[in-house]
Amino acid sequence: MPERVGEPVIAPFGDAALLVTFGDRADPDLTARAGALARLLDERRPASPAVGRAVPAHATVLVPFDPLAMDATAAAELVRHAVGTMTGASGSDAAGDLIDIPVRYGGSDGPDLEEVAERHGLSAADVIDLHAGARYRVLFLGFAPGFAYLGGLPDAIATPRRLSPRERVPAGSVGIAGEQTGVYPLSMPGGWNLIGRTDAVLFDPLRADPALLKPGSAVRFVPAR
Amino acid sequence: MILEALDGGLLTTVQDAGRPDWTHLGVPVGGPADPWALSVANLLAGNDPADAALELTLVGPRLVAREGGVLGLAGADLGARVVGGRRLEAGRSYRIAAGEELAFDGADGAGHGRALRGARAYVALAGGVDAPRVLGSRSTCLPGGFGGLDGRALRAGDQVRSGPSDRRPAADGLVWPIEDDATADAPRAPVTLRALPGAATGIGSLTGATWRVAAAADRVGVRLEGHDLPPDIGGEALTHGLPWGAIQIPPDGHPIILGPDHQTTGGYRVPAVVISADLPLVGQLRPGDEVRFVETDSDTAVRALRDQRDRLAAGAAALLEAAGWDRLAASAGG
């Protein structure tokens, strides 16, 4: 049981959502708390139909609500009550399958690999070893259908987002942004540094379980050649 | 009713109320860029306000009726007409006969391919658009490539069929009696959007200026240009969930107003959020339009939204009387 951290800040985010903030950094315990609150709020939705689907992230939960059915004060009260009943979730509580993702690193599949390597004074092979050598955990999903934010990127290859996003990134591209790594589930615009590409299907809306990666899943990248 | 596309237009998609229940898997909310106009088109066609209809963008499709029926038109005036025949105005319902061809190629009727006001028109078929439900919605999810017509925009050869449920006897000749905020302004007037403070400071840097809508304006977001913001206003933030209408500032300093297909989470600073009642205005912005922001408070925002809902209900009630429908007023209130 982790040490109890302070109460989250609950603030309106526009007229139809609250942003619940547990902290200002990417931290496994804060992410676990955000995830636990989101699950709790989702469980309570049948009793509070004016509350929408909660969206957890590193240290926050977005809580949409229908402002014509519930005011922001009542929504905040509901969140505060849920926080009060949360048990002490921590990052190490999460358990899930180990999912291997085969990746072709570099070349046209990973056009930013060399740039990432240069930035850190490493060779491309070093970046691949570091990226494929680490175990990752799914923190939350967002950004695109089935896109999982993964914790566990080695600090040595953490790289800021590109200054201006690309208009089109191919599906399956594996990227780095800040301290995160992830796989683009579909072809879309994006600002991550692309280091490789996989053929794994990360999202299929017709599957009973549409997303391959879910919060808690453990993930490993395996060089495909 | 069956409408076959001879030409898909610039970007024609199927939209209903969207997928608000799948945002935790990264699925955009989706739905109409102008929710008001989708509701109006549906009400005119005798549908529920959130039924699936076609959303047309700037240059509409060419459609030939393989089977006739009634449709409701709303939103931007894209110069809708029956080829070789009648002009079709936004805010009305029409009976289209089999064999008639519909064009949406310019508000002046000369084929210039530009709306004079607004960017998006909605065409509702009586009975709704028949498309499979994917993750609970018939909306086209362009970022995910699913929903609507195989997850893509309408193209030549596609057939759009009305849904099986004829909820009300469709009536042509109906006229929507309530003014439409999003397309009511004079074409050249700057659009004023009311905004609330966001998750980062700096709303004051947005409200002082007149912005111009860049060419990159789509269902994901509307990019604005014309000013250089102080460098500390934009940039990276710890990734968090985002509401529709959030104004995101990437490091290059060009604000982006998020639309219905926006990413569910983002890592750029958000100093302001457009109020829900003004989202229809955002959905009707065209490249080149001028935009101003004014800061408001949440009470005003909720009052504006309630007023909008009441006006929709009043319009629905007037149609009910005009067409002799029952159930309509009740369903429009929600």
Q: How confident is the model at residue B263 (pLDDT cuts 50, 70, 90)?
A: very high
Which residue of B139, B240, B248 is the best one to mutate when testing the A interface, meaning the one whose CB has the most A CBs within 10 A?
B240
**By mean pLDDT, which of B68-72, B140-144, B233-237, B239-243 is the weakest?**
B233-237
Residues 242-261 of chain B with CB under 8 A from chain A are 242-243, 245-246, 250-252
Q: Does B330 touch chain A (CB under 8 A)?
A: no
Q: Which two tokens stand for residue B53?
A: 């209809």
Residue A59, pLDDT score: 96
Please determine, for residue B274, whether its predicted confidence score (pLDDT) is greater than 90. Answer: yes
What would the pLDDT profile of A142-171 be if each residue is shown by its tens digit? 988 999 999 899 999 999 988 888 989 999
Cα distance between residue A9 and residue A59, in whole Å: 11
A vs B, Cβ pairs < 8 A, gives 160
**CB spacing of A57 vs B144 below 8 angstroms:** no
pLDDT at A5: 55
Q: What is the mean pLDDT of residues B106-132?
A: 76
**Residue A97, Cβ density class (10 Å: 0-12 exposed, 13-18 middle, ≥19 buried):** exposed
By DSSP bridging, strand A98-105 and strand A218-223 are parallel
- Over residues A133-137, the mean pLDDT reads 95
Q: Yes or no: say if A161 and A192 are a contact pair by the CB < 8 Å rule.
A: yes
**A214: pLDDT confidence band, cut at 50, 70 and 90?**
confident
pLDDT at B329: 47
Query: B12-16, B125-129, B231-235 — which is least confidently predicted?
Result: B231-235
Mean pLDDT of all residues belonging to chain A? 91
Domains of chain B, first to last? 2-180+311-332 (no CATH), 191-296 (2.40.100.10)
A4 touching B, CB under 8 A? Answer: no
H helix runs in B116-193, sequence order: 181-184
Least confident of A34-38, A111-115, A214-218, B17-21: A214-218
A143/B263 touch (CB, cutoff 8 Å), yes or no: yes
Q: How many CB atoms lie within 10 A of CB A71?
A: 16
Q: What is the pLDDT of residue A188?
A: 83
Please give the pLDDT value at position B130. Answer: 96
Task: Indicate the fold that domain A98-223 takes in CATH.
Answer: Cyclophilin (2.40.100)
Percent of chain B predicted with pLDDT > 90: 78
Shortest Cα–Cα distance, A14 to chain B (Å) = 5
Kindly state whether B199 is in contact with chain A, defined as any CB-CB distance less than 8 angstroms.
Answer: yes
The verdict on A12 touching B (C-beta cutoff 8 Å) is yes
Average pLDDT on B307-312 reads 96
Residue A2 pLDDT exceeds 70: no
Is B235 part of the contact surface with chain A (CB cutoff 8 Å)?
A: no
Distance from CA of A205 to the nearest CA of B (A): 7
Q: How confident is the model at residue A213 (pLDDT cuts 50, 70, 90)?
A: very high
Q: How do residues B56-81 score in pLDDT, each as one tens digit?
A: 999 999 999 999 999 999 999 899 99
Q: In A, residues 92-121, which contact B (CB 8 Å cutoff)?
A: none
- Cα(A118)–Cα(B284) distance, integer angstroms: 45
Write out residues 25-44 of B within 8 Å (CB-CB) of A.
25-28
Instruction: Find out whether B38 and B76 touch, Cβ atoms under 8 Å.
Output: no
Q: What mean pLDDT is reported for chain B?
A: 90
pLDDT of residue B233: 85
| CB within 8 Å: A24 and B144 | no
Q: How many angstroms separate the CA atoms of B150 and B142, rounded?
A: 10
- What is the CATH T-level fold of the domain A9-93, as seen in this structure? Gyrase A; domain 2 (3.30.1360)
For B26, the closest of A52, A62, A142 (CB atoms) is A142
- pLDDT for residue B328 is more than 80: no
Nearest to A186 among B144, B241, B302 (CB): B144
Closest to B220 in 3D by CA, of B250, B188, B189: B250
User: What pLDDT score was predicted for residue B334?
Assistant: 39
Chain B residues lying within 8 Å of A188, measured CB to CB:
143
- pLDDT-derived band at B330 (thresholds 50, 70, 90) equals low
Q: List pLDDT tens digits, range A12-61.
A: 999 999 999 999 998 889 999 999 999 999 999 999 999 999 999 999 99
Question: Chain B residue closest to A21 (CA)?
Answer: B240
User: Does A73 reach chain B within 8 Å, measured CB to CB?
Assistant: no
- Which DSSP helix (H) or strand (E) runs through A196? strand A193-197
Cβ of A191 under 8 Å from any chain B Cβ? yes
**pLDDT level of residue B157 (50, 70, 90 thresholds):** very high
Q: A131 or A191, which is more confident? A: A131
| pLDDT grade for A193, boundaries at 50, 70 and 90 | very high
Q: CB distance from B310 to chain A under 8 Å?
A: no
The model's pLDDT over A51-76, given as tens digits with 9 standing for 90+, comes to: 999 999 999 999 999 999 999 999 99
Q: What number is the average pLDDT over the span B188-210?
A: 91
CB contacts under 8 A, B 115-174 vs A, are 134-135, 141, 143-147
A49 CB within 8 Å of a chain B CB:
no
Q: Beginning with the edge strand found earlier in the chain, give each strand of the sheet holding B80-82 in spatial order.
A: B80-82, B101-104, B62-67, B2-7, B159-161
- Considering the entire predicted model, what is its pTM? 0.90
Where do the structural domains in chain A lie, given as residue ranges?
Answer: 9-93, 98-223
CB-based contact, B276 to chain A, within 8 Å: yes
